[in-house]
């Protein structure tokens, strides 16, 4: 499918499979994939290592100043802080347990939004997150809001952690997911919500291949493209 320069926004709850879906769709359509959650995770890791967030989730004001010198970038789809690849560390339970309070801070959201706008300036992109269609790219041509049952989401996250070699506790994973959903949906600055012009994709009982086919049909319809891809 030949596409004009476009932005595709994918939002939704934690562990709905947004990144696997967005990555495959990006590959099939030849677009750049940007994982906005990875940037919030990168800021969280940075804050933890520098001692700017404590065990009670108090965030030091010093982080605000330090963000100006924090260099986050993607190389071959993996997140780097400066020259260090942090892709594995940002997916740990330690980072997951503090990323939502970090992502609720307005100045951190502005920092990440600026990064995303820079990264998406030149190219067609598929971006996933919580507020892409509502705040970051409200004019995205195609918006998809993903959801799935809690049981399916907890299982996915649990399997993902197992596959990465950690030893997760199923109920702890469920609790972390619930907490993140709550904080993400109730924060003051750009909470997780469905854009009024977003299409809902409930993938509780869909394969990844089916999701991508559904999305291609949607994109063709939205952009008025009739040729098959």
Positions that interact with ligand DC (CB under 6 A): 14, 36-37, 40-41, 99-100, 103, 129-132, 180, 184
133 three-class SS: helix
Q: Least Å distance between CB 149 and ligand DC? A: 17
Both tokens assigned to 126: 């598929």
Q: Least Å distance between CB 100 and ligand DC? A: 4
Query: Toward ligand DC, which CB reaches closer, 75 or 229?
Result: 75
Q: Least Å distance between CB 227 and ligand DC? A: 32
Query: Toward ligand DC, which CB reaches closer, 56 or 228?
Result: 56
118 three-class SS: helix
Query: Toward ligand DC, which CB reaches closer, 99 or 161?
Result: 99
217-221 LR contacts (CB < 8 Å, sep 24+):
218/142, 218/144, 219/1, 219/3, 219/8, 219/29, 219/142, 220/1
Residue with tokens 């990323």: 99
Burial 39-76 (b: 16+ CB within 10 A, else e): bbbbbbbbbbeeebbeeeeebeeebeeebeebebebee
Q: Least Å distance between CB 75 and ligand DC? A: 18
Q: Least Å distance between CB 30 and ligand DC? A: 23
Query: Toward ligand DC, which CB reaches closer, 134 or 215?
Result: 134
184: left (phi over 0), alpha (psi -120 to 50) or beta: alpha
Query: Toward ligand DC, which CB reaches closer, 31 or 79?
Result: 79
């Amino acid at each position: 499918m030949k596409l004009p320069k476009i932005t595709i926004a994918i939002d939704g709850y934690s562990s709905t499979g947004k990144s696997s879906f967005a990555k495959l769709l990006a590959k099939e359509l030849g677009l750049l994939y940007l994982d906005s959650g990875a940037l919030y995770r990168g800021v969280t890791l940075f804050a933890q290592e520098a001692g700017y967030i404590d065990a009670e989730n108090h965030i030091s004001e010093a982080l605000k100043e330090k963000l100006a010198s924090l260099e986050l970038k993607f190389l071959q789809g993996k997140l780097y802080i400066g020259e260090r690849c942090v892709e594995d560390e940002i997916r740990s339970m330690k980072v997951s347990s503090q990323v939502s309070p970090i992502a609720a801070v307005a100045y951190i959201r502005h920092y990440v939004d600026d990064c995303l706008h820079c990264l998406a300036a030149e190219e067609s992109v598929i971006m996933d997150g919580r507020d892409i269609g509502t705040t970051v790219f409200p004019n995205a041509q195609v918006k998809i809001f993903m959801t799935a049952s809690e049981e399916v989401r907890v299982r996915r996250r649990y399997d993902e952690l197992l596959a990465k070699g950690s030893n997760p506790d199923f109920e702890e994973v469920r609790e972390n997911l619930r907490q993140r959903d709550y904080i993400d949906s109730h924060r003051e600055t750009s909470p997780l919500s469905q854009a009024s012009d977003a299409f809902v994709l409930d993938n509780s009982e869909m394969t990844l291949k089916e999701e991508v086919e559904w999305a291609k049909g949607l994109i063709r319809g939205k952009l008025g493209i009739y040729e098959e891809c």
